[in-house]
Structure 1
């Protein structure tokens, strides 16, 4: 099967879990002898050669052709500068969603060139790049022979729709996170929501990363339940990592590692930290990451008088992330709404017991973890205190968690996806 896949990022150049998931899925599909044509806005040259990579920045198109004009008319284009990202929080959303919708029947050649250089980042012209990416997709769909189209998240949905219109091939829309996750149940509106909805409704099949996400897709976007299936994420390597790094403090360390935004529930982590420190001051809490709530969290920690026991590292990547997991005695993910959440699986790989919210997709597959409601800071504090002070409990979760990882492989996920591809292919006239 030849799969034309549209994504926005691919390792090692990633901003979050989306790129990591794309990498794992592609690797799994290659394991099952699928031919992948992976399109990204910009190639950097150091991507692992797992697929036939297509650099959208290298594709030349004639904007005077009718197919491009027709595609452009149906695109939502933001004229203002914006810093929308696939993991947008509510405050950034409210700040940057004042937009203008253009219905154009012509193309101004003073604005467009035959070859567009994408930044490959989530910068100020992201929405413009999303629209241009869809235009390029029409040309790629015409150039590249394929059987299935697979688009990852809202950034790639317009491209997937455009490719389907040109080639007529089935479209699989992979939803890794929804605007309801990012902005809360009452804040899903505007261009990102509209792009998500258009992609999900246009798709021949929708792949959700959890039952939690599947329910949102059906209930909030009106998608036919019969065309939505669940494929949980996995880990690239199920082996336990035995790190040689040693922490330079005698206290136990409890870590929050992720974007410091509404979706991730950092405020609940801070409140739980206060309750733990009141019971045992010989504990250090770490909040690793960046986001729109960072300053508020720093202020709240100061208000609670925890400055000497609470640390902010800023955004971590690469080896620093691995080292942070390795020196942590407990990892906490108190997400308000988490479509999946790969981070707890990575923590388990480092032999770190985890506490996760019941409102996360990973809670559906990770059985050997303590699960709490994100808002229940008393339960969170009790769980943290218990793992820190009862070694037998912590050891049990370490042993059971490491054994559980063996079943969470991308090859297994890819095998299920191949059956989806084959079913759609057989339904083709």
Structure 2
């Protein structure tokens, strides 16, 4: 598998989904997964898969001793892998900027030179593809499609790509032609395309002109809660309700609709606080909008949340809302429902296809959004119903079952692959 992020160092839903899916798949005894990421940090859970750091895979030959390699990469990768990979360098990459191990450095994030990192990642993938033993290649999201294509061309093994989002989702239709061409190229070369929702599947078929027979919907799931998260005691006030938006504050997530709905709710009652957790390119715009609407005393911007912090915020909430304009899936509502928080989602999100015990509204319908928030905060019976039934529903949506669906797709591809 080629991926761009893996917990605990994640910047969004992609890493969470990669973790859940691989953990679910690993419950099949004959499944071995090697997961390649640009830059491991050493605290990744490798109990059910093997991680290869692309920043520790040499593309230029260096004569370095074992102890030195161990001191540099031993925290997250077997130093022996470095030497075995070194024997499979396939071209003269001396023109590239490499370090003292002959490796390319990666930020492990989404830097300004992202296109360069994507290209370098695909170069390194050529070394990995020549050295590793595998039956199938699985590339997560557009950043790793070039790597998947390269590995397929080298090995002759089938390529599955996993579409977690398309640029149509990220840009509200104002598509970046470079990103679109990378996505389309990945889809054209793929032997099968997995999409996180039927919504995304239809985009892939109609906007990227793919054969419907090679595109399958594989909905995401949610990982079981750790004991640490279950032990979090929510900090709740009896007098005030808290309504939370948690995600990137960007055009795709519809933050302005949340602010407008909040203003409408606060015209009717004053005992509700609103939280917009996260960061993004629309944050300053949202702070200004909150001020313009005169609701700054009831609105909070705590910034980016990760790991345990996410669940502390969720557990302190009375309502969770995801008003996304275009959300391929959206794991966060499932995480909220998992900790018994009544949830409102937009009908334009993929998870709306599999969730019943939540309130669904059109992202643009701020009146319906405000009514839903007000109702959950005001009517205890409605709050209790969504809290209890939402949790029950989500607890049955398991990554293990998703893993079996992915396996059947693999088996089918391998059976028909020539």
Tell me the TM-score normalized by structure 1. 0.86
| C-alpha contact 2:338 2:395 (8 A) present in aligned 1 | no
1:129 aligns with 2:117: yes
Deviates more, 1:112-121 or 1:197-206: 112-121
Q: Secondary structure at the match of 2:309?
A: helix
CA RMSD in angstroms comes to 1.7
Residue in 1 aligned with 2:332?
A: 343
| C-alpha contact 1:238 1:405 (8 A) present in aligned 2 | no
Aligned length: 382
Give 1:320-399 correspondences, 5 Å limit: 320-399=309-388
Q: Secondary structure at the match of 2:33?
A: strand
Shift of 1:168: 0.6
d(CA) in 1 for partners of 2:302, 2:107: 27
Give 1:117-156 correspondences, 5 Å limit: 117-156=105-144
| C-alpha contact 2:197 2:217 (8 A) present in aligned 1 | yes
1:201 aligns with 2:199: no
Which stretches in structure 2 are left out of the alignment for 5+ residues?
Answer: 62-90
Residue in 1 aligned with 2:68?
A: none
Residue in 2 aligned with 1:181?
A: 169
Q: Secondary structure at the match of 2:26?
A: helix
Residue of 190, 197, 202 corresponding to 1:215: 202
| C-alpha contact 2:59 2:93 (8 A) present in aligned 1 | no
Shift of 1:111: 3.6
Residue of 408, 413, 416 corresponding to 1:424: 413
Shift of 1:248: 5.3
Shift of 1:320: 1.6
d(CA) in 1 for partners of 2:51, 2:224: 23
Residue of 155, 158, 162 corresponding to 2:146: 158
d(CA) in 1 for partners of 2:231, 2:198: 33
Deviation readout 1:240-288 (Å, 9 max, x if unpaired): 9464132357311111111111100000000000110000111111111
d(CA) in 2 for partners of 1:43, 1:274: 43
Residue in 1 aligned with 2:32?
A: 35
Residue in 1 aligned with 2:15?
A: 19
Shift of 1:314: 1.0
Tell me the TM-score normalized by structure 2. 0.88
Shift of 1:108: 7.4
Change (3 A) 1:249 1:284: farther
Shift of 1:406: 2.6
Give 1:187-336 correspondences, 5 Å limit: 187-237=174-224, 241=230, 243-247=232-236, 250-336=239-325
d(CA) in 1 for partners of 2:176, 2:9: 29
| C-alpha contact 1:330 1:355 (8 A) present in aligned 2 | yes
d(CA) in 2 for partners of 1:227, 1:192: 21
Q: Secondary structure at the match of 1:340?
A: coil
| C-alpha contact 2:141 2:163 (8 A) present in aligned 1 | yes
d(CA) in 1 for partners of 2:256, 2:34: 41
Shift of 1:119: 2.2
Shift of 1:62: 5.2
d(CA) in 2 for partners of 1:298, 1:42: 34
1:109 aligns with 2:97: no
d(CA) in 1 for partners of 2:207, 2:120: 28
